[in-house]
Amino acid sequence: MTSSQPHTDSYYAATANDNTEYPPLVGEQHADVCVVGAGFTGISTALHLAERGYNVHVVEASKVGWGASGRNGGQMIGGISGEERIAAAHRADVEDMLWEMRWAGHEIIRERVARYGISCDLKAGYLDVAIKKRHLAAFRAEFDRLQRHDFPLS
Ligand SMILES: Cc1cc2nc3c(=O)[nH]c(=O)nc-3n(C[C@H](O)[C@H](O)[C@H](O)COP(=O)(O)OP(=O)(O)OC[C@H]3O[C@@H](n4cnc5c(N)ncnc54)[C@H](O)[C@@H]3O)c2cc1C
Task: Take atom 35 of ligand 1 and give the residue whose Cα is closest.
Answer: 37
Pocket test for ligand 1, best of 7, 25, 40 (most atoms within 8 A of CB): 40
Domain ranges of the chain: 1-74
Mean pLDDT of the chain: 89
- Please indicate whether residue 78, judged by its CB atom, sits closer than 6 Å to ligand 1: no
Q: Is the CB of 66 under 6 A from ligand 1?
A: yes
Q: Which tens digit of pLDDT belongs to each residue from 21-36?
A: 899 999 999 999 999 9
Q: What is the structure's pLDDT at 102? A: 87
What's the CA gap between 117 and 148, in Å, rounded? 36
Taking the C-alpha atoms of residue 95 and residue 101, their distance in angstroms, rounded to an integer, is: 10
**Distance of alpha carbon 102 from alpha carbon 10, whole angstroms:** 26
DSSP 3-state assignment of 89?
Answer: coil
Give yes or no for residue 25 CB within 6 A of ligand 1: no
The residue nearest atom 3 of ligand 1, judged by CA position, is: 72
Q: What is the pTM of this model?
A: 0.87
Taking only the tens place, the pLDDT of each residue in 94-116 is 988 999 998 898 999 999 999 99
Bridge partners of 58, per DSSP, are 35
Close Cβ partners of 21 (under 8 Å, ≥ 6 residues apart): 1, 4
As beta bridge partners, residue 102 has none
Q: Using H for helix, E for strand and C for coil, what is the string for 96-116? A: HHHHHHHHHHHHHHHHHHHHC
Q: Which atom of ligand 1 is nearest to the CA of 70?
A: 29
58 lines ligand 1 (CB under 6 A): no
